[in-house]
Structure 1
Amino acid sequence: MGWGEYALAFGAFFLSHSLPVRPPLRPWLVARLGRAGFGVAYSALSLAVLAWLIGAAGRAPYVPLWDWAPWQNHVPLAVMLPVSILLALAVARPNPFSFGGVRNAAFDPGRPGVVALTRHPLLLALTLWAGAHVVPNGDLAHVVLFGSFAAFALLGGRLLDRRRRREMGEAWHRLDAARRRWPRPESWPRAAMRVAAGIALHAALLWLHPRLFGVAPLG
């Protein structure tokens, strides 16, 4: 379908990320699925649409913007291990500043973990992933794809900050000031397990990449 499929997948991606989290749809879904069930369903939908969009970018007409060089592959290789660890440290933990947090009322600013580094670790991971993948993909479809992801993540952080400040009031400023310290985790053994899970995720992505996207990161 060329550009038509690409445009359709792009539209589905942004709708799937915007509609489920807007009132009144999100409260309706959370009431029926539970907070954890909503998070799982939202994540599964996001990954499915993301996989379709990446595949559609590969099928779009090829319009080169710059030439490929072997060194470019090393950029995502170097960045994706930190991204995988960042994801493992951020997923399914309390974070009242961002989306996707669980047990947010239990957030301890004295033990903020990765939230001490950034209020939006998942969006930071998306920004790093997208920016790193622009380098070796110098055709129009992929530059638009990964560039849009990076812009989406950066803008999303600003919008979330504005919404959370409005919703939380003075508590947002108090928690934000308190969490800006050494990223002490809730539990060192759990943090070590999450880092190990991030390393395992990175290995799995290296193995799955050629099977899902037809490109072998290690050559």
Structure 2
Amino acid sequence: MDWLEFSAAGLAFMATHLIPATPRIKAPLVAALGRAGYGIAFGLLALGLLYWLILAAARAPFIELWPQEIWMRWVANIVMPLVILISSYAIAAPNPFAFEGRASGFDPDRPGIAGITRQPFLWALVLWAAAHLLVNGDLAHAILFGVFLVFSLIGMRAMEKRLIRRIGLAEFNRLAARTSLIPFAALLTGRWRPRGRPSALRLAIAVFAWAAVFHLHELVIGISPVP
């Protein structure tokens, strides 16, 4: 197969992610499935294609770029709980700036996770991609995780520009007054201060998800995360 399967999986994954940015395709799907149904269907499709892409990278010809060291595995194991924690607090949280958030319930004076960063899930993807890029030093995985890393960074600005076009710069600035794109910048500049307690339920979900990912990684992906 050489690189054929890896290329096909990558093209399929990228093509699928054009759907949310193409109203002529997305609108009929939302109308047919409902917003919740569309979100579930698209999420399952994207997850399935990502799984295929990861397996295809593992089956691609192995061309080493740098050797794997034990400390690299420790870095990945330290970063991944943070990735899952951020994702747990980001998904479906009141956050009109991010694709994983929801506009309803957002208070500009109490922005919640958006006070830390307006794009928490994309930053989680950046950390995930960077940690896995470090620990997988062959060409196929360098392409896979390198592309995720670059596109996650590019996607942050692209999403914010799209939102500005939709609601206008003045409204964007009003909503974003106590937030920042760079993590913790609003906190360091004094524009935001945490209020209230973090959700215990989201924390419990994060702990459960991390335990599941850690223990099922070898079964699902074929590689043990243990250093």
Task: Tell me if TM exceeds 0.5.
Answer: yes
| SS of alignment partner, residue 61 of structure 1 | coil
Shift of residue 43, structure 1, vs aligned partner: 1.2
2:98 is the counterpart of 1:98: yes
User: Matched residues in 1 for 2:54 and 2:93: separation?
Assistant: 28
User: Matched residues in 2 for 1:183 and 1:99: separation?
Assistant: 23
- Give the total of aligned pairs: 215
Of 201-210 and 173-182, more deviation after overlay is shown by 173-182
Shift of residue 35, structure 1, vs aligned partner: 1.7
The one-letter code of the counterpart of 2:202 is: R
The one-letter code of the counterpart of 1:141 is: A
Which has more helix, going by share of residues?
1
Shift of residue 101, structure 1, vs aligned partner: 2.5
Shift of residue 40, structure 1, vs aligned partner: 1.3
Q: 1:72 aligns to what? A: 72
2:123 is the counterpart of 1:124: yes
Q: 2:210 aligns to what? A: 202
Given that 2:85 and 2:203 are in contact with CA atoms closer than 8 Å, whether structure 1 keeps it comes out as yes
Please list the CA deviations of residues 4-41 of structure 1 after superposition, one character each: whole Å capped at 9, or x if unmatched: 00000000111111124411222222222222222111
Shift of residue 100, structure 1, vs aligned partner: 2.9
Shift of residue 46, structure 1, vs aligned partner: 1.1
Alignment of 1:1-219 (within 5 A): 1-102=1-102, 104-169=103-168, 170-179=170-179, 180=186, 181-184=192-195, 188=197, 191-219=199-227
Unaligned runs of 5+ residues in structure 1 are none
Structure 1 moving runs of 4+ over 4 Å? none
The one-letter code of the counterpart of 1:109 is: P
| SS of alignment partner, residue 108 of structure 1 | coil
User: Matched residues in 2 for 1:146 and 1:200: separation?
Assistant: 25
User: Matched residues in 2 for 1:218 and 1:106: separation?
Assistant: 40
User: Matched residues in 1 for 2:136 and 2:178: separation?
Assistant: 40
User: Matched residues in 2 for 1:139 and 1:109: separation?
Assistant: 44
Given that 2:125 and 2:148 are in contact with CA atoms closer than 8 Å, whether structure 1 keeps it comes out as yes
Change (3 A) 1:5 1:183: farther
Backbone CA RMSD of aligned residues: 1.5
User: Matched residues in 1 for 2:128 and 2:194: separation?
Assistant: 22
Unaligned runs of 5+ residues in structure 2 are 180-185, 187-191
Given that 1:112 and 1:184 are in contact with CA atoms closer than 8 Å, whether structure 2 keeps it comes out as no
The one-letter code of the counterpart of 2:11 is: G
Given that 1:110 and 1:184 are in contact with CA atoms closer than 8 Å, whether structure 2 keeps it comes out as no
Shift of residue 110, structure 1, vs aligned partner: 2.6
| SS of alignment partner, residue 112 of structure 1 | coil
Please list the CA deviations of residues 169-213 of structure 1 after superposition, one character each: whole Å capped at 9, or x if unmatched: 12111111134412436xx47x11101111111110001100011
Change (3 A) 1:182 1:40: farther
Given that 2:90 and 2:100 are in contact with CA atoms closer than 8 Å, whether structure 1 keeps it comes out as no
The one-letter code of the counterpart of 1:150 is: L
| SS of alignment partner, residue 101 of structure 1 | coil
Shift of residue 118, structure 1, vs aligned partner: 1.1
- The percent of aligned pairs where both chains have the same amino acid is 44
| SS of alignment partner, residue 105 of structure 1 | coil
Given that 1:97 and 1:160 are in contact with CA atoms closer than 8 Å, whether structure 2 keeps it comes out as yes
